[in-house]
Copies of this chain bind each other. A is one copy, B any other.
């Protein structure tokens, strides 16, 4: 695997840099993938980064620059002369330039825009107008446009002439004179067709596109569903304004999955940086809000116990507290299973709000099966192990029944709450992932205690 090689190569490169063996360094770097070179740059000592960067051929330099983290990029830009900066900017695809600008502080942005040529600057500013996380902000404006009346020969000539600056030439877009998108044609089709064939006879006219304002998560889902290489982005009048390529969609997919996972674990997603590049304080800030909220909510659970304390002590039923962790945990786990499954299904577009009753019906049946199985195991364990083997005289058949009935009811409520809350959240425009395990657990904890003490009061007269 290449990844491991990067690691061992790093020491070699560091030593060569130390010894100023620039020709050898250049030879090594030019055989590497930009992603791996960028990783080396991120690890290298700061003052040496600029020297190393100047060794790279122009195109490779730009490709590497795009793959670096923002700290390294900023460091490099700081050291660049205006000419060097212009050279890098000129080589960037417009969508990469936009990504860069979105990450940089205002003074650096001004410098970048000043160095960009007027056409690029205009395109960058167009894309910057779209809301963050929209299809418009993900797209690039560099793609191949063909006309319906062109022949294959003309089309290929056009691609040869203009293709060098395009992010992809594999899907070409056919637009009418008013810029409306009327079809797409792949380079595969072009190459496998006769040279005098006309584009409008070859193009796919049933084009799936996204709107500039569509959410990036929806865009990523389209890529996942249809396996596109690129997806055209149109404005409200169906005019073609850009394309989103699959590499950006893959990034969004990973980002959204990470965000969902973080929210499910009560972490506020604040950054898309990898684990080893997030500072301690930043990590603390992303974790403390939910811990605080959940701690305060858990005190309510405590208050429920407090409410029953005297009753428990008076009727010598303190031993009932020993079942609290098991009932709470099982309820919490059952609830998370339902909520996490539903959240993931919502996020992959497998279910929608209109399916809520189907989902509830299914979860209730699963809850019944789980509840009855667990209660049965638990009843046997209480009767055979605790009573017979351990001679725990508190455990009567009635006590075991109270515990097991609580379990069935708790699991039922947990699964119900677990599947309903995320769907309601989605309907109300909140992110369903926030309704995941910890939140559900806290609600289910309180409910399970109320159920437990309620049943115990009724049947054991505590």
Interface residues of A (CB under 8 A from B): 1-3, 31-33, 35, 156, 159-160, 163-164, 169-170, 187-188, 191-192, 205-206, 208, 210, 214, 218, 222-227, 229, 246-247, 250-251, 253-254, 257-258, 260-262, 264-267, 274-276, 280-281, 283-284, 287-288, 290-292, 294-296, 298-299, 301-303, 305-306, 309, 312-313, 318-319, 321-326, 328-330, 332-334, 336-337, 339-342, 344-345, 348-351, 355, 358-359, 362, 365-366, 369-370, 373-374, 377-378, 381, 437-438, 441-442, 445, 449
State the CA gap A359–B276 with chains docked (Å).
8
Given contacts A262-B340, A329-B441, 10 further A-B contacts (CB under 8 A): A31-B206, A224-B254, A261-B261, A266-B337, A275-B342, A275-B344, A280-B369, A295-B374, A295-B378, A305-B321
A336-B266 in contact given A250-B223, A302-B325, A349-B3 (Cβ < 8 Å): yes
Contacting pair B275 A341 (CB below 8 A): yes
Please tell me which one of the listed residues B225, B280, B351, B449 contacts residue A35 in the complex, with CB atoms under 8 A apart.
Answer: B225
**A276 contacts which chain B residues (CB < 8 A)?**
345, 350-351, 355, 358
Known: A329-B301, A366-B287, A369-B281. A267 touches B306 (CB 8 A): no
**CB pair A265 B226 closer than 8 Å:** no
Contacts of A267 in B (CB 8 A): 337, 340-341
Residue from B246, B321, B362 within 8 A of A246 (CB atoms): B246
**Once bound together, how far apart are the Cα atoms of A319 and B329, in whole Å?**
21
CB contacts (< 8 Å) of A350 on chain B: these are 274-276
Question: When the two chains form the complex, which single residue of B33, B226, B318 contacts A33, counting CB atoms closer than 8 Å?
Answer: B226
Partner of A337, one of B287, B325, B342, B374: B287
Contact partners of A336 in chain B: CB under 8 A: 265-266, 437-438
Give every chain B residue within 8 A of A355 (Cβ-Cβ): 276
Q: A-side binding surface: helix, strand, loop or mixed?
A: helix
Distance to closest chain B CB from A372 (angstroms)? 10
In the complex, A362 Cα to B224 Cα: how many Å?
35
Residue contact A321 to B341, C-beta cutoff 8 Å: no
**In the assembled complex, which residues on chain B have CB atoms less than 8 Å from the CB atom of A325?**
298, 301-302, 305, 324, 328, 445, 449
Are A322 and B342 in touch, CB under 8 angstroms?
A: no
With contact pairs A294-B333, A295-B326, A295-B329 given, residues A262 and B341 touching in the complex (Cβ less than 8 Å): yes
B contact residues around A160 at 8 Å (CB): 191-192
| Chain B residues in 8 Å Cβ range of A333 | 266, 290-291, 294, 438
Which residues of B have CB within 8 Å of A348? 254, 258, 274
Complex contact A1–B214 (CB within 8 A)? yes
Q: A267-B337, A340-B262 are in contact. Are A329 and B442 (CB under 8 A)?
A: yes
* A41 CB to nearest chain B CB (Å): 15
> Are A319's CB and B306's CB within 8 A?
yes
6 A-B pairs with C-beta separation under 8 A: A170-B187, A250-B250, A264-B340, A265-B341, A294-B333, A329-B445
Bound form: Cα–Cα A283–B364 in Å: 11
A36 → B minimal CB distance (Å): 9
From B226, B305, B344, B441, A322 is in contact (CB under 8 Å) with B305
Q: State in angstroms the CA–CA spacing of A3 and B350 once bound together.
A: 11
Are the CB atoms of B187 and A163 closer together than 8 Å?
no
Output the least CB separation between A173 and chain B (Å).
16
- Bound complex: CA A227 to CA B160 (Å): 23
Most interface-central of A187, A251, A265, A301 (chain B CB within 10 A) = A265
Q: Which residue of B lies closest to A193 (CB)?
A: B160
* Contact call B322/A306, Cβ cutoff below 8 A: yes
Q: How far is the CB of A268 from chain B (nearest CB, A)?
A: 10
Across-interface contacts of A324 in B (CB, < 8 A): 302, 305, 321, 324-325
Pick the 10 closest A-B CB pairs, nearest first: A275-B345, A265-B340, A227-B247, A301-B325, A274-B350, A298-B326, A257-B257, A302-B322, A298-B329, A284-B369
